A and B are shown apart, each in its own frame.
Chain A
Amino acid sequence: MSSTEIPQLAVFRLALDADTKARQLAVIEQAARAVPTRSPARRRRRWIAAVVVAGLLALPVAGVAAESAVPGDALYPVKRALEPIRSWLDPELAAKHRLDELAVLIERDSDDATIERAIDEASLAVAEADVPELDAELERLIDRVTVRTEPPAGSTDSVAPIDRQIEQEPAIEDSQDRTTDTSAERGDSPSVTEQPALDAPATDPPSTDDSVDADHQPPPTRAPVGDRPSTELDAPALDDPAQPRGDRPRD
C-alpha cells in the first residue's frame, strides 16, 4: 500500500510556510514560558475528587438510561463513554452494542449514510471482538440492508421489492399447506406462521408465485458482504503503546 494508490488525496498534503511556522512557534514558546513550574495544589485535587464522586454516582443512572440509545440519540455519547468500563466485564460488549444499534437503524429505515457508518463501526467492533457468532450476525444484518434496497424506477410494476418477496413466501407456502393438508392437519395446524430468516436465499423463490422472478431482482446498491473486512485476525496483535497521561485534550 502506498500513498500513490489514491492520487486524489495528494491534494491534502500541505507544507507550512516559514511565516506561519514562526507565528505558531512564537505562541507555543510563549505558552511554554507561562506554564507554572509547580504542580496545582490541594484545591484542584479536591475538585477532581468531587467530580469523580459525582461521576461515579451518576454512572449507573446514565448507564441504564443510555442502554438502548443508537447513533443520533441524545444519550448515545453516554453509552459510548461507559462502554470501555463495562467492557471489563464483557469484552464483546462493544461489538454487541454496535450490532444492536445497526439492527435498530435498519428497523427505523435510517438514511444510507447513517447505516453505512453504523456498518463501519460494527465491522470494526466485530473485528476487534473476533467472535464468529458476532461476525455471522453482522453478515445477516448487512444482508438485510442489501435486500431492502428498492428496485430501480420502471421495474416496480412487475417485480416486488425483495423484502416483500421474502415476506410473501411463507404466506404462499402456508396457503398451499392449508389447501393440501387441511384434512390431515385440521385441529393441529401451526398457530404461528414462522417467518423465514431475512438472509434466506432470495434467488430461489417458489415457482408458484408469478410475481416473483429472481432474474428481475434489482441489483443491490450497497457493497456486498464480501467487501467487508473479515474478522479472521491472523496477524499478530499490536501491543498498545504507552498512552501519555492527559491523552485526551481538554478544551
Chain B
Amino acid sequence: MEIHRFEKRWFVVSLVLIIAFIATIVYGAAGVGVQMIDDDGGQIDPSNVRNAQGFSDPGVHQAGDGEYDVYVIAYQFAFEPGSNDPIRVPADTRITFHVTSSDTIHGFSVVGTNLNTMVIPGQVAKFTTVFNETGTYGVVCHEYCGDGHHTMAGTIEVVPEDEFDGGSNTTDMEGGN
C-alpha cells in the first residue's frame, strides 16, 4: 500500500505526541508523585456506615505526629462534617481523607484544587494531602444525587498548625474560638 510521504511524517509525529503524553503522565505519577484514587480505602456496608471504624465518629482525628485522618460521610444533601460544621484542619500536616456515602453516588471536590474524588456507596475514597495555605476552601458535590443536589456543599477551614485545637468536631465546638 502506498502511503504519501507527508502522511508518513504525520503518522510518526502523531505517535511521538502520543508517547510524549503517556510519558508526562508517568512522570506525574512517578516523579511528582500525583496520587490516584484507588482501592486503598477498602469497602464498607452502605446501609451501616455509622457503625464502621472511623465513620462512627465522623470528623478530624489525630493519627500521629503531624498526621490527621478526616472521616466524612456524604448523604442527600450534606457532607458530615463540612456542611453544618466546617472541616477544620491544620496547615502543613498530612491530612488523609476517608469519604463514603450512605445513600447515592456523590462527589467530593475541593473547589479550585485537584482534590477531587467520586464518593460511591460501598467504597471508601481515601486520599492524602497537605494544605500549604491557610484559608477557607469550598467543597461541592459534583455528581447529581437528587433534587437538592445543588445545595450540597461544604467548607474546609485550614488554620495555622499552632492555632489548631485538635481532635474532632465535638472538640471544635467545645473549644469555642
Do A and B come together as binding partners?
no
